[in-house]
Amino acid sequence: MMHRCPSAIRFVGRLGVLLLSCSTAWAQPQPVVPGPPAVPPDAQPPPGPAPSDSIESNPTPEPGWGTTDDASSNPVGSEPSGDSLPHVAVESSTPADVGWSSESKSAEDWGPDAMDGGDVLDPEPSGVVVHGFAEGAFGSRVAAVPGSRGHLTLAEARARLDVSHERQWARGALVVDVVADQITNEVSPELREATVHAQITPWWEFGGGRRVITWGTGDLVFLNDLFPKDYVSFFVGRASEFYKAPVTHLRSGWFSSVVNVDLVWMPVPEPDVTPDGRRLSPYSPSLGRGLEPQDTVAPRPVPRRLSHSEVAARVHSTTAGVEWALYGYVGHTKQATAWDSTAMQPLYSRLRAYGASLRLPLLGGVTSLEGAYYDVPDEQRSDVSNADRSELRGLAAYDHELVSWLTAGVQYYTEWRQDEPSSMARSPDGKHWVTCRLTGRTDDAVASLGAFAMFSVTDGDRHLRVDASYRLTDGFTTTLGVNLMDGPRDGRFGPLRDDSNVYLRARYAF
């Protein structure tokens, strides 16, 4: 088929040469991705979605490195590569890290398959494996908007180099992107992964570095996943692997035929990436327009001390065909939604979270149940005005293959806040959401069409994402999609109504 698209192939080839020539930028150390600038108290973080991750499917894990972390947990119909998603709301008291999870799981996510049920390490060294891609991406608002904002939401060229090396007892990986961004007029490197892991014993593994981590069972809805998400990438139409942001961490895993334990320590808290007026501009009722970069107020940074480091734990296994997991987290909210009226500055709240999930086959499909309790300390709420509040969240999901080429998934998601002042609650009975996904693929996987819709039964907030992909050759794929957001201006998606957009991506992978 290559003779049918010579101009496209030449374009991608030139793009790859251009971006790889920018690799000298790697000489400077890669900075940690900064947290998104906080918006004024009247502008809450964006509504969003992100990759979903599920619990493991192998009750008796074999020691070794798997190709993906939670492949078995992908929702039916989700893409094979995924990451997680966002949440944007203006003048809402919902805790910032509310989780919309990603479309699919990424090989960058820690998951059950990687440590329990993955491929056993080859007794012989596998050598160095090199992959990569060159990609061009373009996105534009579907309608003109007032103010200084332009029509572009995405205009970038990206080149990736993915190098990994595996031996019998250890594995290392380095994934670096070079991005030329027309909107910010910058050419810069992005460190997506730099990890080293060692198998100390047949039942203990230890490693760390920087990479994406994903836990939980939701499809674009996160409850027990309190690792940073990239809401901007989701809403502008980047590939699903960018829905979550990498995090610096150390990880230890213990595995047995009965139960598996994962422990992750993050020395430096890293927040979500949320719209800040540069690429997406949530509407601000107090300003009467969308936010501009100069309107945002930087949140109070979390002190870089050991006492403010974050810890996440997961205990998981499979019993009688039912995948189950228990979760715990001690750290901070991922978006600065609390407001200190004395300092006139947004801030991140201390947070403890506890949760559990189940995943099991039912009625020819897969059913998932997940719950989480977000505990904001009372002493903190008494010291801060407009403080985050403790919250209970629940999720029920069902995925089913309708026919050989079409799968469907539905979810019901709810939030119940404690001690919510009635004057601030849009609904005294909590918030309720319904999501639906349809995914169709040709038998040869050359073409695919997917749609994901989210609707708030409580507020009327809504988001629709539709995309179509076509594989022109084994390495060249194009994707065309649309993000449509609507709803109340103080909801989760309503503030991004003017940022609804269409996007186009072309990628050549090797």
Please tell me whether residue 76 adopts helix, strand or coil conformation: coil
Element (H or E) spanning 165, and its range? strand 152-166
More confident residue, 397 or 67: 397
Say how many C-beta atoms besides its own lie within 10 A of residue 404's C-beta: 8
Distance of CA 238 to the CA centre of its chain: 11
One-letter amino acid at 271 equals P
Q: Which of 392, 394, 387, 343 is nearest to 370 (CA)?
A: 394
Kindly report the CATH number assigned to the domain that includes residue 276: 2.40.160.10
Cβ–Cβ < 8 Å for 85, 229: yes
Beta strand ranges found along 291-430 (DSSP E): 310-319, 322-332, 338-340, 345-347, 350-362, 365-375, 391-403, 406-417
Range(s) of the domain holding residue 36: 2-509
* Strand pairing category for 431-441 and 501-509: unpaired
Q: How many domains does the chain have?
A: 1
Name the pLDDT band for 407 (thresholds 50, 70, 90).
very high
Element (H or E) spanning 20, and its range? helix 6-20
Mean pLDDT of 8-29: 40
pLDDT tops 70 at residue 471: yes
pLDDT of residue 102: 37
Instruction: Give the C-alpha separation, 61 to 64, whole Å.
Output: 9
Name the pLDDT band for 242 (thresholds 50, 70, 90).
very high
Say how many C-beta atoms besides its own lie within 10 A of residue 7's C-beta: 7
pLDDT of residue 347: 86
For residue 378, report the phi and psi dihedrals to the nearest 5 degrees: -60, -40
pLDDT of residue 230: 96
Name the pLDDT band for 379 (thresholds 50, 70, 90).
low
Distance of CA 390 to the CA centre of its chain: 23
Name the pLDDT band for 10 (thresholds 50, 70, 90).
very low
Element (H or E) spanning 232, and its range? helix 231-236
Name the pLDDT band for 381 (thresholds 50, 70, 90).
low
Instruction: Give the C-alpha separation, 343 to 346, whole Å.
Output: 9
Cβ–Cβ < 8 Å for 264, 249: yes
Q: Which of 186-195, 323-332, 334-343, 378-387 has the lowest mean pLDDT?
A: 378-387
pLDDT of residue 185: 92
How many residues in the chain? Answer: 510
**Mean pLDDT (the chain, rounded):** 78
Instruction: Give the C-alpha separation, 74 to 105, whole Å.
Output: 6
pLDDT tops 80 at residue 12: no
pLDDT tops 50 at residue 266: yes
pLDDT of residue 429: 58
pLDDT tops 90 at residue 293: no
**Max avg pLDDT among 49-58, 174-183, 382-391:** 174-183
Whole-angstrom CA distances from 412 to 55, 218, 431, 493 are 19, 10, 11, 17
More confident residue, 337 or 146: 337
Distance of CA 410 to the CA centre of its chain: 19
pLDDT tops 80 at residue 123: no
Tokens of 488: 């109340």
Please tell me whether residue 496 adopts helix, strand or coil conformation: helix
Mean pLDDT of 354-377: 95
Q: Which of 118-127, 268-277, 382-391 has the lowest mean pLDDT?
A: 118-127
Q: Which of 26-30, 282-286, 366-370, 465-469 has the lowest mean pLDDT?
A: 26-30
Instruction: Give the C-alpha separation, 385 to 289, whole Å.
Output: 25
More confident residue, 127 or 107: 127
**Among all chains, which residue has been given the structure tokens 């080839």?**
13
pLDDT of residue 405: 94
pLDDT tops 60 at residue 50: no
State whether the Cα torsion 279-282-284-290 is positive or negative: positive
Instruction: Give the C-alpha separation, 16 to 19, whole Å.
Output: 5
Please tell me whether residue 299 adopts helix, strand or coil conformation: coil
Name the pLDDT band for 484 (thresholds 50, 70, 90).
very high
Q: Which of 223, 280, 215 is nearest to 95 (CA)?
A: 223
Quick: pLDDT tens for 303-328: 888 889 999 999 999 999 999 999 99
Name the pLDDT band for 338 (thresholds 50, 70, 90).
confident
Mean pLDDT of 236-255: 96
Name the pLDDT band for 428 (thresholds 50, 70, 90).
low
* Strand pairing category for 447-456 and 462-471: antiparallel
Name the pLDDT band for 476 (thresholds 50, 70, 90).
very high
Q: Which of 53-62, 176-185, 485-494 has the lowest mean pLDDT?
A: 53-62
Cβ–Cβ < 8 Å for 199, 169: yes
pLDDT of residue 284: 82
Mean pLDDT of 86-115: 37
pLDDT of residue 479: 98
Mean pLDDT of 409-420: 87
Name the pLDDT band for 42 (thresholds 50, 70, 90).
very low
Q: What angle do CA 134, 137, 141 make, to 5 degrees?
A: 175
More confident residue, 124 or 242: 242
Cβ–Cβ < 8 Å for 303, 290: no
pLDDT of residue 341: 74
Mean pLDDT of 476-485: 97
Phi-psi region of 242 (alpha: psi -120 to 50; beta: other; left: phi over 0): alpha
Please tell me whether residue 465 adopts helix, strand or coil conformation: strand
Mean pLDDT of 371-375: 96
Give 328: exposed, middle or buried? Use CB within 10 Å, 0-12, 13-18, 19+.
Answer: middle
pLDDT of residue 449: 97
Distance of CA 441 to the CA centre of its chain: 23
pLDDT tops 50 at residue 366: yes
Mean pLDDT of 448-473: 95
One-letter amino acid at 361 equals P
- What is the full DSSP assignment across 25-69? GGGSPPPPPPPPPPPPTT-PPPB-----------SSPPSS--S-S
